[in-house]
Amino acid sequence: MRSVITATLGVIVLSACGGQSSGTATIPSARTLAAAVAAPTHALSANALRGTYVAAVDPSTQVDLLVQLNGRNLDQIDSLIAEQNTPGSPLYHHYLTPQEYGADFGPSAQDYAQAIATLQSQGLVVDEAMPNRRDIFVHGSAAAVESLIDSPLDVREENGRQFFTNRYTEQLPAALHAYAISGDTDYHQVHPFSVHTPQVKIGSGAGFGAHDIESVYDLTPIYSSATGSGVTIVDATEGLATASDFATFQSKFGLKATLLSFSAGRKSPVDTYGETTIDVEYMAAVAPDVTIDQVTASSTSDSSFDKMYAYIVNNLSSVHIVSTSWGDCEAQYGSSFNIDESDFQQAYTEGQWWLSAGGDSGVDDCANGTKGVDFPGSSPYVVSVGGTSVTPASTDHGNFTGWSNEVVWDDTLGCSSVRSCNKEGGGAGGGGVSTRFTMPAFQQALRLHGAMREVPDVALMASPCDAPDGDSLCDGGENGGYWQYFQGAWQNGWGGTSFAAPEWGAFLTLVQQKYGSTPITSPLVRLYALAGTPGYDTYFHDVTAGCNTYDGVPGFCASSGYDDASGLGSFIGAPLQAAY
């Protein structure tokens, strides 16, 4: 399947690799098996050690790749970023366009031309060369890709799922000047961060809606001057929310946000998880007049997400706020990790601020019984958003009013067993310490004591178990969590950091509206700076109770100030927006 990039009415649909052979896999012949286990010319890839061999990928199968080229002066980017976000600097708020990034940090014109020529000489078709001169979308036959990477492509099976992968680590031509390549495997998949309690009552139940978030987080005073009007936020996701679901949600709460949608007649992935529907409905809940631009990958493979990220950073750089509710354990990423991190760094030079859900499995993000954190939130160029459980000041007929208390989200204590928590709707807010990134300057300025990047940066209501009577769904309560309108029905009992990240993103659009078209200062820089002032408790609800223990892995516990369970805390809307 050819890589397709279609922009119609604001929706970008990026097709994934079609690298798996069609039809039913047959038992490989003796010759095929011999080829599969022939002595390698270089090391086996990590994914070639997973599962069992099924067959060779049909040589004629079309495969889509993202090739990222080496750049120049990359060691100077963080110094530029510091200047761009330092008041008084000549470069303060002077952000780059993707073309300027390419001129300063992309490969030389000669190396770039040579890379394009090399790809074409290998029988690959260049679908789109991004303006940063580093990201190139190409497609070609499996045979051409095998020649490019000097490795066969195999179909393998693990736990009933077939995937394709490069057998050996890629050996790319020197003339390609490649930094990394993505698309020669679809083994790794990213995950959404939402949970739903299926036993919750529908129709007569209670839960958090748009007006409850408005009241609990002190957004009402902002709406007299800022509602998100004239500001666009991108939802980087997989699957499109339906216009009818979104319209019903808006009508219920009196919202007037604009959802950019795909044109009739084009096939695009539909939101089957409820994930995109969560994002767009609660972006509108916080910023009732904002424009929401859905940008969808065509599958959950990380190579499909790589292309989506690159497209947003390069072709939608005029949009300053991007939120994603997808990710995975940072330790489990392959070459996609380097590609994505490079693009997030580029976004930072452009004044495009990314937010990511921090995860719903507490410190057990890798699901292997050890502490781990989620990427892309662990990137020092991305705002990681954790989860909390909120007690409103009062409740009246299901309406939640004001803020009384907030603790780290951890609903696992009420599950019938630890292992059943996901099925029962339990979870805990992600957080902890990165093993890949050193501590960035904005955290050092707050005098945190570690040597590595800590997450989350901030947090917000994420529990599907909150209830107006103080009971918990995980303890047998009947109501709670968030309301959403999905697949033609109202459902409560939803939760997850998939709500927290888009709500924080939408809040930043209320800040952005104050500044017009000029990008706001980096949220990571500005929020940590405000947290270091005497006004900290004016701008943030400092979460000081609860831990993000999950699945038997001891978590981090909240404390005064920053902590690895709730970050800086949740926003107190009006004063934080005014001070930003």
Q: Which of 38-52, 120-134, 442-456 has the highest mean pLDDT?
A: 120-134
Residue 480 — very low, low, confident or very high, per pLDDT cuts 50/70/90?
confident
Angle of the 98-105 helix axis to the 302-315 helix axis, nearest 10: 100
Residue 466 — very low, low, confident or very high, per pLDDT cuts 50/70/90?
low
Beta bridge partners of 240: 270
The answer to which of 70-74, 174-178, 265-269, 313-317 has the lowest mean pLDDT is 265-269
pLDDT at 63: 96
Residue 21 — very low, low, confident or very high, per pLDDT cuts 50/70/90?
very low
Residue with tokens 């809940």: 285
Q: Each residue of 7-18: pLDDT tens digit?
A: 333 444 444 444
Q: Each residue of 503-542: pLDDT tens digit?
A: 999 999 999 999 998 999 999 999 999 999 999 999 999 9
In the chain, % of residues over pLDDT 90: 77
Q: Each residue of 339-396: pLDDT tens digit?
A: 999 999 999 999 999 999 999 999 999 999 999 999 999 999 999 999 999 989 988 7
Dihedral sign, Cα of residue 222, residue 227, residue 229, residue 234: positive
pLDDT at 318: 95
- What does each C-alpha distance from 409 to 91, 319, 491, 518 come to in angstroms? 40, 31, 20, 35
Q: Which domains does the chain have, with CATH numbers?
A: 17-71+106-182 (no CATH), 191-579 (3.40.50.200)
Structure tokens at 301: 């493979």
pLDDT at 445: 84
Query: CB of 563 within 8 A of CB of 358?
Result: no
Return all residues near 239 (Cβ < 8 A) that are at least 6 apart. 269, 270, 271, 272, 273, 275, 276, 296
Q: Each residue of 194-253: pLDDT tens digit?
A: 887 654 444 456 788 999 999 999 999 999 999 999 999 999 999 999 999 999 999 999
Residue type, 505: G
pLDDT at 41: 62
User: Span 296-315, mean pLDDT?
Assistant: 94
| 3-class SS string, 145-188 | HHHHHCCCEEEEEECCEEEEEECECCCCCHHHCEEEEECCCCCC
